[in-house]
Amino acid sequence: MTRTTSVPSATPAAGTSTDTGTPLAFSTRGLRAELTTPGAKIPLQEETLVVNLSAEPLDLHTERPSQVAPLQSALLDRVTLRHPAPLLLLTGMNTERIADLGARENWLRIGNDPAVAAGAGEGAPFPAGTPLWRSPIAQLGTVTLPAQLLGAPSEASTPVPLKLQANLWYAPAGTDCHIHRRHDFLEVHTQVAGRGRMQKFHAQDAETRYQDVVLEPGSTHAPFCGYDATATWSYPWHRYWADTDCVWLALEYHPC
């Protein structure tokens, strides 16, 4: 694939494969999201947010050893990628106009979804007036992960097959994206543009916050769930908080 520093003038057609990858449904007018073909040789010629979706480290083949760890990400340029598992690539981050991105792209405003606005069945419901938008969701296939990456005890030995899906989120500066804790899957978030944070709480109460995980463009937080022998995920109360206008990537690893 030939990569240039120009930005596409229109959203690439989702599902149109090339010899190195497939554009994803949440690509925007300025931001291209692509899932690579396993084993493809991909020379990067512009700044690219590279997300390692798999349990295998991504070796960058530079003069000094350098890797992108499993379920982590990096802003990369002027390197050639080759990985046995698919990678998620995002380009055009620096040229996409962030303000009002969700409305411009006609994404789902979460408060307009009755199922979400009614709450997830635990604690206070999602406030319908929250300015939070979700892009279309892309299904990225099946990934097998060591149980330890899911938060299982270190003695756990059976790898876990999971269905992976991904989407983008947009929220303007100062948005409280709601304290919650119910998830039946593993989730991690990658910051695409702006500055945000994942916050952890002892209860569904902002006054009980005990940790902030700051997210700058290119960073992915480590999983912070627990996982047990009954295939149950347990999370602390947590939320995303947008310090500035923000775009971030959600990766969800669901049971098969």
What lies within 8 Å, CB to CB, of 196 at 6+ separation is 171, 215, 240, 241, 242, 243, 244, 246, 248
Domain ranges of the chain: 21-91, 101-255
Q: Has this prediction a pTM greater than 0.95? A: no
pLDDT at position 120: 56
Rounded CA separation 254/251 (Å)? 10
Local confidence pLDDT in tens for the 256 residues of the chain: 333 322 222 233 334 445 678 999 999 999 999 999 999 999 999 999 999 999 999 999 898 989 999 999 999 999 999 999 999 999 999 888 999 999 999 999 999 987 765 555 578 888 989 999 999 999 999 999 998 888 888 777 789 999 999 999 999 999 999 999 989 999 999 999 999 999 999 999 999 999 999 999 999 999 999 998 788 899 999 999 999 999 999 999 999 9
Domain topology for 21-91: Jelly Rolls (2.60.120)
CA–CA–CA angle 174, 176, 177 (5° rounding): 130
Fold of 101-255: Jelly Rolls (2.60.120)
What local confidence, expressed as pLDDT, does residue 208 receive? 98
pLDDT at 230: 80
Report the pLDDT value the prediction gives residue 9, as an integer from 0 to 100.
Answer: 27
| Same fold flag, 21-91 and 101-255 | yes
- Planar angle of CA 83, 85, 90, nearest 5 degrees: 80
Integer Cα distance of 187 and 198 in angstroms? 12
Specify which residues 211 forms β-bridges with: 200
Residues near 207 by beta carbon (within 8 Å), at least 6 away in sequence:
none
Across the strands, what pairs with 178? none
Question: Would you state the pLDDT for residue 117?
Answer: 58
